[in-house]
């Protein structure tokens, strides 16, 4: 049994839905389908979810919202017209939206219900379309499916019992179409996951039904071993472990909303990234374990926008609690850190610049000076991190040599290095303006 999730671009218009229907028909194991709301049809297009958010904001600000509702309806109307489906769904959307807006619920709950209209309606459309093709298919609301979540509008967490409810879907003989992005609180209220939450639904459903495979259909043939905007036509990755995926997605790889993977990861369900527009392409499969590969490096990720707080103090390393106190100061300011490479008497804390404000920085530096009495404290800016990723790297002699040689060839100074035991990555910190040169040199070294 496979769970197939189709993303926004895969369900953006009638033509895309025809591809989806044909993909579903191609493999009898594709029994549970999870869908996003219609995404962009062209680069300047607006996603249906964004249209619904605008509608909600207009309503809450007591501005006219009729035109915005009309635009949503037209978006769906163009799909149902092209697919020769009845107009009934359009009326349901209109009534549904008006019902939400004029309900007694809080604004937060109203907004959640509004946002979810895109996925919910698309699931109804796809189910009707499959039926019109003579395929036995049912739309299934997450409440009926038993997807229960915590009462946090816009940030739902799935409740454990949902998995048992979802397991019942294995008894179904027909194809089940479930809208992504939302579940229901125990009080019966619709609550959405965080943005990108259709991936979360897909992963939860795959875990619940104990799928053999969770297929995630998007608009790329595969995950590439390096950012294609830095290296032309890079190699495709055929297989990745969860850990590798996570290391890559951390620094510049945005194929996946990585929290979304947790349910599938915990239930050990393989995940396949595939292309709706080219379903014959192998795609990239994400698994918990894989055989050792001849090249232990699977990918090179990079990201800019890091800073480093450098603290030095003679005999720091004799001072029990120094590192802990430093991290406590950051934690008090709600600043999460990335790495803490250290010397004997100094420590650098690498932080995403977006986690820092000038005010926080000033307070942190003041407290470090006052509470830790360091010899020096300074902030280095405009840093980039490059991750060389691959399971099996930890047992391969000579990889650090190859990686550092690539930086040398590109004439790039390595500011920071970090690699722990049993790890699946090596981290290098460099000046941000050298990141593309470095990534290209590493790509040549490991993949050409």
The residues, ordered by sequence, that sit 6+ positions from 202 with a Cβ below 8 Å of its Cβ are: 3, 5, 34, 180, 214, 216, 260
Long-range contacts, 252-256 (Cβ 8 Å, 24+): 252/227, 252/301, 252/302, 252/303, 253/223, 253/227, 253/299, 253/301, 255/218, 255/220, 255/223, 256/199, 256/216
> Least distance (Å) from its own copies to the CB of residue 269?
14
Q: Is 190 in the site for its own copies (CB under 8 A)?
A: no
Q: Where is 153: in which H helix or E strand?
A: none
Q: Which of 18, 131, 277, 396 binds its own copies (CB under 8 A)?
A: 396
Q: Is 317 in the site for its own copies (CB under 8 A)?
A: yes
Binding mask 231-260 for its own copies (x = CB under 8 A): -----------xx--xx--x-------xx-
Binding to its own copies, residues 398-427 (CB under 8 A) = 398, 400-401, 403-405, 407-408, 411-427
Q: Which of 327, 365, 372, 432 binds its own copies (CB under 8 A)?
A: 327
Q: Which of 310, 353, 361, 432 binds its own copies (CB under 8 A)?
A: 310
Q: Is 429 in the site for its own copies (CB under 8 A)?
A: yes
- Count of chain residues binding its own copies (CB under 8 A): 72
Q: Is 345 in the site for its own copies (CB under 8 A)?
A: yes
Token readout for 195 is 């943005």
Nearest residue (CB) to its own copies, 113 versus 248: 248
Beta-carbon count within 10 A of 78 CB? 14
Q: Cα–Cα distance between 114 and 120 in angstroms, integer?
A: 10
> Least distance (Å) from its own copies to the CB of residue 144?
30
Q: Is 446 in the site for its own copies (CB under 8 A)?
A: no
Q: Which of 233, 324, 370, 448 binds its own copies (CB under 8 A)?
A: 324
Q: Cα–Cα distance between 396 and 399 in angstroms, integer?
A: 7
Between the CA atoms of 339, 350, 288 and 271, what dihedral angle is there, to the nearest 10 degrees? Answer: 170
Q: Is 338 in the site for its own copies (CB under 8 A)?
A: yes
Q: Is 437 in the site for its own copies (CB under 8 A)?
A: no
SS3 240: strand
Q: Where is 17: in which H helix or E strand?
A: helix 14-26
User: DSSP letter at 394?
Assistant: G
Q: Is 187 in the site for its own copies (CB under 8 A)?
A: no
Nearest residue (CB) to its own copies, 109 versus 426: 426
> Judged by CB under 8 A, which stretch of 52-60, 100-108, 225-233, 378-386 contacts its own copies?
378-386
Q: Is 339 in the site for its own copies (CB under 8 A)?
A: yes
Nearest residue (CB) to its own copies, 53 versus 414: 414
Instruction: Assess contact for 228 and 282: CB atoms under 8 A.
Output: no
């Amino acid at each position: 049994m496979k769970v197939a999730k189709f993303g926004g671009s895969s369900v953006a218009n009638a033509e895309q839905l025809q591809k989806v229907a044909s993909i579903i028909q191609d493999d009898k194991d594709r029994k549970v389908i999870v869908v996003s709301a219609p995404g962009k049809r062209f680069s300047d297009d607006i996603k249906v979810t964004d249209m619904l958010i605008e509608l909600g904001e207009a309503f809450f600000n007591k501005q006219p919202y009729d035109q915005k509702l009309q635009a949503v309806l037209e978006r769906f109307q163009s799909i149902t017209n092209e697919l020769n489906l009845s107009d009934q769904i359009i009326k349901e959307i209109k009534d549904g939206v008006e019902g939400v807006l004029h309900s007694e619920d809080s604004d937060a709950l109203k907004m959640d219900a509004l946002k979810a209209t895109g996925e919910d309606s698309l699931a109804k459309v796809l189910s009707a379309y499959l039926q019109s093709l003579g395929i036995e298919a049912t739309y299934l609301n997450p409440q009926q499916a038993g997807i229960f979540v915590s009462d946090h509008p816009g940030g739902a967490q799935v409740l454990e019992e949902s998995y048992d409810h979802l397991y019942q879907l294995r008894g179904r003989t027909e194809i089940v179409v479930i809208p992504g992005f939302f579940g229901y609180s125990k009080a019966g209220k619709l609550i959405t996951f965080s943005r990108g939450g259709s991936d979360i639904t897909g992963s939860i459903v795959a875990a619940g039904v104990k799928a053999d495979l969770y297929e995630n259909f998007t608009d790329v043939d595969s995950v590439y071993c390096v950012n294609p905007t830095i290296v032309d036509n890079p190699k495709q990755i055929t297989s990745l472990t969860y850990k590798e995926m996570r290391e890559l997605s951390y620094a510049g790889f945005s194929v996946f909303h990585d929290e979304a993977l947790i349910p599938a990861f915990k239930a050990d369900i393989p995940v396949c990234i595939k292309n709706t527009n080219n379903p014959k392409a192998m795609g990239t499969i994400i698994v918990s374990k894989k055989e050792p590969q001849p090249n232990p490096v699977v990918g090179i990720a990079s990201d800019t926008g890091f800073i480093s707080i450098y603290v030095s103090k003679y005999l720091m390393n004799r001072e029990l609690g120094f590192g802990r106190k430093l991290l406590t100061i950051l934690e008090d300011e709600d600043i999460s850190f990335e790495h803490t490479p250290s010397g004997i008497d100094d420590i650098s804390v690498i932080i995403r610049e977006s986690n820092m404000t000038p005010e926080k920085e000033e307070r942190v530096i003041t407290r470090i000076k006052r509470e830790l009495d360091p010899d020096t404290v300074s902030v280095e800016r405009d840093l980039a991190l490059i991750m060389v990723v691959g399971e099996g790297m930890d047992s391969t002699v000579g990889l650090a040599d190859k990686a550092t040689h690539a930086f040398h060839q590109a004439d790039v100074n390595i500011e920071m290095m970090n690699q722990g035991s049993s790890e699946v990555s090596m981290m290098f910190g460099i000046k941000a303006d050298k990141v593309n040169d470095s990534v290209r040199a590493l790509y040549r070294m490991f993949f050409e």
